[in-house]
Structures are given as structure tokens and as C-alpha cells.
Amino acid sequence: MSYQVLARKWRPRTFRELVGQEPIVRALTNALDRQRLHHAFLFTGTRGVGKTTLARIFAKSLNCETGISSTPCGECSACREIDDGRFVDLLEVDAASRTKVEDTRDLLENVQYAPSRGRFKVYLIDEVHMLSAHSFNALLKTLEEPPPHVKFLLATTDPQKLPVTILSRCLQFGLRRLPAAMIAAYLAKVLAAEGIPSDEAALRLLARAGDGSMRDALSLLDQAIAFGAGRVEQAEVATMLGVIDRRWAVSLLEMLASHDAPALLGHVAQLDESAPDYATVLADLLSLLQQVALFQVAPSAAAGDGIADAEDLARLAGSLSPEDVQLFYQIALLGRRDLALAPDPRGGFEMALLRMLCFRPAILEHEEGAQAVAPHLPAPPAFAPAPVSTAAEPVTAPSAPPPPAVTSLPALEAAGPDSGWSELVEQLALGGMAKQLALNCVLVAREGNHFCLALDAAHAQMRNKTSEERLRAALEQQLGAPANIRFQVGNLPAATPAEQRLQHQNERRQAAAERIDQDPRVREMQEVFGAEIKGVQPLDDFEG
């Protein structure tokens, strides 16, 4: 007798044997047991999750000689013939190879005739989304009002390509991708029944490689049995699949956490000797980063079948900030997407790791910039008119060099509302966010080219590293000497240049409105024509 592959040998023959589709099985068994049977069913889902298998079990339940039920006997001639694929009243059609409208019309010619052997004539159309538009039109009327002895079972991996007219006439059941743990458990059951020794780690590798498809996992299991000469062990399966030890991801992340670029690149060189799939290595790194992120938030949630154990997770979670973990995850995700565009897979992988070393979250860059500027700024003035946010206070870095121009700076002198800050801002070569930042600040104190500016909390989002640097550069260009800026965030002691400008515009509009009201010609038009003044705008407001 010829060998039968495991995917066919272990294909479920009853609803109870079907793995991982409990909601759909429950709906179908209730419909069968209560005799509430629709005339058209649509099964959707990725490859290898049981769409065709489910349709065949349903056809067997409809035509079992013991009667319609969710538990076909499996022994009668109808059940055996359906299992063997030779039941005359089960018409299986591969829509991918019969897309023409003529094929569909030929298929539907005999719909009106009663079944030859069974209780129902069942049309099982696989990959139904491959039918042409004319074929769908030919199918539509029959699908809407079929004879009582006909049932349509449609299966597809891409339901979005089906016309809504077809979808609206079917009961739709979406089969889910199977979890890796569920696939591994089923593979262990199959190997135990076949009497083939295996280890759990090898089955986990096969389950992950199956990518949610039980059929793909069973096909890989067949290959692993042949590769391992009747044994399924981790080393052989890893070699067959071309995967590396997932502990490499732990080592790579440890070197990223320690910012050791030479060791990191040396590690990649050792990794390259085994000719790995770098997309898989990035996927392992992504899984590890997810575990670390979960451990940082909720350590109990990170437990389970992962790359690292609890000790590794605790060490990595302590050496990496949550911001770094999130940034590394995003860089690895984009690197995996762009890996196919790289001239060399190893080069693309190395660039993804180097981006993790070079980039830091924006908030950290801002804090580092604040620390770098802080040594050039004097202490806050004691006369500050309002309390300021502690987050905006400069941070003194002891190791930073002293200011180049001033060795000892006295306390800043207070600056009043008429300190000339508005006039100075108008003279600066600024635009965009930096100009708006300057217009919404008040000069609190100034000593030479050292400025202390107060910024209202409502406009704090305008302050960032780029806008601060542009404002400082504009001040240095205007003054012809190095300048330093310190910000306070809080209540303002006076009106900002932006507020002064707005107040001035309002005053001019009010004056213009009063002049219009007093104009005799305007009054004459109001009296003669009943004219109304809708609004007044000074002409120079439109300039520019």
C-alpha cells in the first residue's frame, strides 16, 4: 500500500476532530441538529485552517444514511464515499481552474435535477473568489433561489474579492488562524499515535513555521520525519528549517543595551557563518522586545513560551528603558519590512541594529540638550514673579566645560514690560515655530547676552530643541556675539509680543469702526438704502 501523507491521513472526519474552530463548529452542529439549514454557506480563512475539511464534514452530515445530524456515522456508503472523494452528489469544483462563465453554466445545468444517491446535491466551490464577474452573475440567481435539494458550500482565502451580491446571499463563517501552542499539541498527538519519538522544542519550531496553518505544519512534520530518519528533534528541525538558536536574540539585545558596537558587529559576523534568514532573526528580536516590554509593565504577563526565561527578562528589563524598548521594536519592525530592499541581507540587518544604537527617543534628546545648555546659564533670578515648573529648571552637569565668554556672571537684572523684547523679536531673522516661540515669551531678566524668558504653559508645546536653537542662533546673529537662553514655564509677568500685537490690532479696528460710524457719507447710505455695516478691517491688515 502506498504511503499517505500525514496531512491527508489525519484530516478530521467529524466535527469533534476539528481543531481550533469551536465557534463555527457550534453554529453548524446546532443548525444540523435543529434542521435549520441555509442553502448557501461561505467559509473564509487563510490556507490550511480547515475550510474544505469543514465543508466535507458538513456534506457528510447532510447525506449520512442514518439521517441529518451533526454526528455522521462514518460507516455508511455515503460517508465512506465522501471521505474517499467519490460521492456522486458532492460536486467539488476548483474555481481557480474554472473561471469562465461557460464553466459555471455547465456546472449549474443539472441543478434542477434531484440527487442520484444522497439526500442533497452539494456544490463545493473552492477558491470561489477566482471566478470571473460573468461567472458570478451566472451563479447569482441560482444561489439566491436554489431548489430545496441543493446546498452551496463556498470556500475562499480572499473574501474581499467576492461581490457583495454573493456575500449577502450566504451565511459567512470566518475560520481563524491556529495558535502555535495548539498546533504543537496536535503534532504531539499525531506523533504519539504514529509511534515517532520527538521533543517539545522541535514541535514548537514546526508549529511556528506553520504560521497558523495546520496543514502546513503537518507537511513540515512529514519533512522533519524524513530529515531526522524517523525522529523529530530540535537540532535536525532547526537545520531543516534554516533557523538559528533563538538565544542569539538575547545576546544581541544585551549588546544593544550596553551600547557595545564592536561586540555587536562581531556577534553578527559569527551569526553570518550559519547563513541565517535575517528576517527570522529580526522576528525573534521583535518577540524578545515584546516580552521585555510586557515584563516592564506586568511581569506576570510576560511568562509563557518565549525566547528568554524570567532571569533574562529581568536583566534586560532593568538595563533598557521602556522608551528604548519601544524605539528598538519600531526600528526592528521597519527593518524587517525593508530588508528585501537592502543590497545585502546582512547589511540591512546590521543597519537596523546600528539605527538602534544611534537613535534615541526625542524626549531623551531634549533632556540631553537641556543639560548641555545648562552650564552656560546662571542661576534663576530670586525675583521671579511666578513659580515655574520644575521640569523646565536647567540641570547642572558638573563635567561640562565652563562658558567660553563669561567666567563669572552676576545675577540677572530684572526686565520690565518695556524692556524692548518686542522690538528685538521683530528685528530677528525668524520664521515658523521659532518666531511663534519668541512672540509668546516675555523677557524676565537679561544680563548682557544672557536672556531669561518666561513662556506661558498654554504654549509650552512650541518649545523644542529645534525652535530653541533657531531662536538662539537668531539672537547671536542680531547681537554679533554668543547668546544663552533660559526658559521658565509658568504665569507671565506681562503681555507677550503676540498679545501686544493682537491688542494693537483690536484697538486699530475699534478706531476704524468709530471713524466709519462718524462718516457722513456712510450715514447717508444707511438712511437712504438701509445699508448695514457687517465688519470693519483696516486696509493695512491685508498687506502681505
Q: Report the CATH architecture of 180-241.
A: Orthogonal Bundle (1.10)
Residues with pLDDT less than 50, the chain? 363-414, 417-418, 542-544
The residue type at 250? V
Q: What is the pLDDT of residue 419?
A: 66
Strand order through the sheet with 484-489: 413-414, 441-447, 450-455, 484-489
List for the chain the helix, strand, coil content (%; round to 5). 55, 10, 35
Q: Where does 34-76 have alpha helices with state H?
A: 51-63
For the domain bounded by 6-174, which CATH number is listed?
3.40.50.300
Closest CA to 152 of 168, 164, 139: 139
Please say whether the beta carbons of 315 and 296 come within 8 A.
no
* DSSP 8-state assignment for residue 490: B
Q: From CA 253, how far away is CA 313, in angstroms rounded?
A: 11
pLDDT single digits (tens) 288-340: 899 899 888 887 766 655 666 778 888 888 888 888 999 999 999 999 999 98
The residue type at 361? P
Exposure string over 161-180, b if 16+ CB within 10 A, otherwise e: ebeeebeebbeebebebbeb
Q: From CA 421, how far away is CA 438, in angstroms rounded?
A: 9
| CATH class of the domain whose range is 247-360 | mainly alpha
Torsion sign, CA atoms 85, 88, 89, 95? positive
Strand order through the sheet with 90-94: 90-94, 121-126, 150-156, 40-44, 171-174
Torsion sign, CA atoms 336, 339, 344, 348? negative
> Domain coordinates of the chain in residue numbers?
6-174, 180-241, 247-360, 500-538
How many CB atoms neighbour CB 103 within 10 A? 17
State the angle between helix axes of 432-439 and 465-479 in degrees (0 to 180), rounded to the nearest 10. 80
Phi-psi region of 181 (alpha: psi -120 to 50; beta: other; left: phi over 0): alpha
Q: From CA 143, how far away is CA 98, in angstroms rounded?
A: 18
Does the predicted TM-score (pTM) go above 0.85?
Answer: no
Contacts of 233 by beta carbon, 8 Å cutoff, 6+ apart: 198, 199, 202
Q: Write out the DSSP string of 91-108.
A: EEEETTT--SHHHHHHHH
Q: What is the pLDDT of residue 394?
A: 44
The residue type at 59? A
Q: What is the pLDDT of residue 397?
A: 41
Q: Where does 161-276 have alpha helices with state H?
A: 164-167, 180-194, 200-210, 214-227, 234-241, 247-257, 261-272
